[in-house]
């Protein structure tokens, strides 16, 4: 019988802290009964919430921490204040020390990335980590990275991200050779900045066995799902992510306004309610919540700070998959064939 997956949780992270983390963990436990949790946070606040979920309490070890990193804390301040003491640091440290297979936090992204880099270190030949997220598409889902870990990228970093994103797609989508595209201003090989063109040349010439490079893709290909993995640097990726989130909210608001404008529109909505419910379910960001920090010596998943319990459970689901299907071993095996890393 395989050993249970152990996940450490920053109970104090995010806009809502334990009031979302605890019920979210309870939902995740229903989906994955073999899960075990290490939960770090203020015992006086977290313990009463755990008492309301007996099954979760039985599967959880709660460890008290006095310090919680706020959402507006600068990464440098978060490290100085919380090193070795905060709920965020100790959740990541549990992964480093082998007490947990993955860590999940809804806390400050910059502080979490800084904590993870210091505590876990980057993998061999990986200079900078990346954040990879699931992206709803017309074909299903794709993986997009980097969505905000670091600004700017040279060709080597883009190639590393393509390989790490493919490793994640191999696990999430069960694909032997995930298709990969580099986000660019056009599909022609002569377009784009030099780093992107050089990365495209390396990926094309390398013909890596676990990665099917399909060339450049454009912004509209994100929604189409043209490839399984879309690679870009963090500045562009974060703008694309926030734009997509804002557009989804805009469309939802337009639909609500249109459906309530006249009596006939309200009647029409009643007839089309099932279709609208299906659309809302498809566009629900909570179901694709959870950005994976790739390139570190351990699995860390960032939940959206403002999510609810369903969204936080989705982030735990992502962490479970990454740990259960051994993301780290998959990345290491694929990096061994990295044409850039071999010459680093």
> Per residue of the chain (344 residues), what is the pLDDT tens digit?
567 899 999 999 999 999 999 999 999 999 999 999 999 999 999 999 999 999 999 999 999 999 999 988 888 888 888 888 999 999 999 999 999 999 999 999 999 999 999 999 999 888 889 999 988 888 888 999 999 888 888 999 999 999 999 999 998 899 999 999 999 998 888 888 999 999 999 999 988 888 999 999 999 999 899 999 999 999 999 898 888 878 777 877 777 787 777 777 677 666 666 665 665 665 566 677 889 999 999 999 999 998 999 999 999 999 999 999 888 888 888 887 766 655 44
State the architecture of 1-126+295-344 in CATH terms: 3-Layer(aba) Sandwich (3.40)
Rounded to a whole number of angstroms, the distance between the first and last alpha carbons of the chain is: 40
With contact defined as beta carbons under 8 Å apart, do 87 and 285 qualify?
no
Q: Per-residue DSSP letters for 117-169?
A: HHHH-BPTT--S-EEEEEEE-SSSEEEEE-SSSSS---HHHHHHHHHHHHHHH
pLDDT at position 343: 43
Q: What gap in Å lies between CA 102 and CA 271, rounded to an integer? A: 45
Task: Report the predicted TM-score, pTM, of the whole model to 2 decimal places.
Answer: 0.87
1-126+295-344 and 132-286 share one fold: yes
Q: What gap in Å lies between CA 183 and CA 166, rounded to an integer? A: 15
Homologous superfamily of domain range 132-286: Isopropylmalate Dehydrogenase (3.40.718.10)
Cα–Cα separations (whole angstroms), residue 18 to 42, 81, 116, 342: 9, 21, 21, 44
- Spans of all domains in the chain: 1-126+295-344, 132-286
What tokens does 261 get? 């404008």
């Amino acid at each position: 019988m395989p050993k249970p997956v152990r996940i450490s949780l920053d109970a104090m992270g995010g806009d809502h802290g334990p009031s979302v983390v605890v019920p979210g963990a309870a939902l995740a436990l229903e989906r994955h009964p073999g899960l075990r949790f290490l939960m770090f946070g203020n015992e006086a606040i977290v313990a009463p919430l755990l008492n309301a979920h007996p099954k979760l309490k039985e599967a959880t070890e709660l460890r008290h921490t006095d310090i919680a990193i706020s959402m507006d804390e600068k990464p440098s301040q978060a490290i100085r204040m919380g090193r070795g003491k905060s709920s965020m640091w100790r959740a990541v440290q549990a992964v480093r020390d082998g007490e947990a297979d993955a860590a999940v936090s809804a806390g400050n992204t910059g502080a979490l990335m800084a904590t993870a880099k210091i505590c876990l270190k980057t993998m061999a030949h990986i200079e900078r980590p990346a954040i990879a997220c699931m992206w709803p598409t017309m074909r299903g889902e794709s993986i997009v990275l980097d969505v905000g870990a670091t600004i700017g990228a040279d060709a080597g970093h883009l190639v590393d991200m393509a390989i790490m994103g493919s490793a994640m797609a191999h696990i999430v989508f069960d694909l032997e050779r995930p298709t990969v595209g580099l986000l660019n201003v056009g599909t022609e090989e002569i377009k784009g900045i030099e780093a992107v063109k050089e990365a495209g040349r390396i990926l094309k010439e390398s013909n890596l066995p676990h990665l099917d490079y399909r060339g450049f893709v454009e912004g509209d290909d994100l929604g189409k799902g043209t490839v399984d993995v879309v690679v870009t640097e963090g500045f562009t990726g974060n703008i694309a992510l926030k734009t997509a989130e804002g557009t989804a909210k805009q469309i939802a608001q337009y639909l609500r306004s249109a459906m309530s404008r006249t009596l006939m529109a309200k009647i029409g909505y009643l007839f089309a309610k099932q279709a609208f419910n299906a659309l809302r379910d498809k566009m629900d960001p909570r179901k694709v919540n959870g950005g994976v920090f790739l390139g570190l010596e351990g699995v860390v998943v960032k939940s959206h700070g403002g999510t609810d319990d369903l969204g936080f459970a989705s982030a735990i689901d992502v962490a479970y998959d990454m740990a259960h299907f051994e993301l780290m071993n998959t990345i290491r095996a694929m990096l061994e064939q990295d044409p850039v890393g071999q010459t680093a």
